[in-house]
Structure 1
């Protein structure tokens, strides 16, 4: 009988705890951080405001549909990740590597799926050979370029000859100048940036998809918003079903 009473008391507390959790979020702003130079996924405009696919999707899902106030702030990518790891920001949206899973909880539904292809300068002497690349393993005989903090590169290019730069723009300028052979990267991002930099004549894409990765919402385990992921997954499913996600993607093609 004693255990029955204890169980009843615990059950009575569950709604209270749920209410307290909701109250903890009410009035708080969910601080979302991004790579500030990763168009069209996320970048900072001339007014120092963040824009891009990730910002638009998360604003629609979290703020417009789930009624959670959000802020969007851009940083160099390594710093953005560090802020979430230390509990100084709530979440970022990226490929959920094993390292990132140690300090974040990850959505099941992807915000977008990034495809990874290879980019090469158009006058490369081995262009025909490079066009035959089919797998990540085929990259080993070339020098590669990537930017610091890129989790996909750290995970997939380990043991290869990689020249690291501060950001994607620097990578692409160096690629065009022939300082390394190839840049394997997120095709949506690299294509957009090549167009913005006016490098379409100097850099070509090898269209074979070497990998695809979900960009998921990663909420820090120290964040008071860590329990919203089931609702977030449901909201993304609804946005996919009603066509909202595709409409956002198409705005950045």
Structure 2
């Protein structure tokens, strides 16, 4: 309904020969989030969205003068909704595919390491302990468990020819790893460690010390959103939040470091 009202208002303004101005009550920023990827984002039992990316964007929206609405979706649907303009944006890693339909803020929301997680009893453990790069991982003859629709996995794992099995959400990757349905998970250290605190069988999983890559998570606004031209203001709001004590406290709440 919000989209319909916006389009009708824009059409009327165009017909009258004046630019369409978004009214204050229409400044509702709708951000789509993966629903099973704690601590970044997840939907709790009461169907409320929680997570560090949700809390960060709530503050960014407040600073920038928006009302804020998080939307829970499976990861593939997150990207579809942003591409179609059904959601204004998302908070994910920037990839070439996503850049085609969304623009990224000029400041990252968070930065963190990607590491490898493997069962202690996996025969491939010695080979994985020798891995120092994604090219090494390609030579290790292992099966990587990745999230369905994850652009980083597609670009860095699948396109290298590494065997891949897909799971629904980050929680799904951990459960598959514990269940021996693949050899290794390559993902954000903070995300996997958060999940391992609350899942049966976590003691069987070890995190390898090698950092495969440091990656940034960005706010990305749909090219079809009425707020895409506000990205400079949103970038400024992100910088303001990161310069405040509140930023560190939000990260600490979810076991993350600045």
TM range (shorter): 0.7 to 0.9
1: CA distance, partners of 2:98 / 2:210: 28
1:164-217 CA deviation, whole Å, 9 max, x = no partner? 122322322221222221111111111111212133211111121101211111
Q: CA contact under 8 A between 2:107 and 2:235: conserved in structure 1?
A: yes
In structure 2, the partner of 1:150 is 150
Tell me the TM-score normalised to structure 1 length.
Answer: 0.87
In structure 2, the partner of 1:187 is 189
Residue 57 (structure 1) aligned with residue 56 (structure 2):
yes
Gaps of 5+ in 2: 1-16
Instruction: Write out aligned runs for 1:159-198 (5 A).
Output: 159-198=161-200
From the CA coordinates, give the structure whose radius of gyration is larger.
1
Q: CA contact under 8 A between 1:49 and 1:73: conserved in structure 2?
A: no
Shift of 1:127: 2.2
CA RMSD between the two structures: 1.7
* Displacement over 3 Å in runs of 4+: none
2: CA distance, partners of 1:191 / 1:25: 43
2: CA distance, partners of 1:182 / 1:131: 11
Shift of 1:151: 1.0
In structure 1, the partner of 2:124 is 126
Q: CA contact under 8 A between 1:25 and 1:225: conserved in structure 2?
A: no
Q: CA contact under 8 A between 1:105 and 1:218: conserved in structure 2?
A: yes
In structure 2, the partner of 1:200 is 202
In structure 1, the partner of 2:5 is none
In structure 2, the partner of 1:217 is 219
Gaps of 5+ in 1: 1-16
Q: What is the count of residue pairs matched by the alignment?
A: 234
In structure 2, the partner of 1:42 is 41
1: CA distance, partners of 2:198 / 2:168: 18
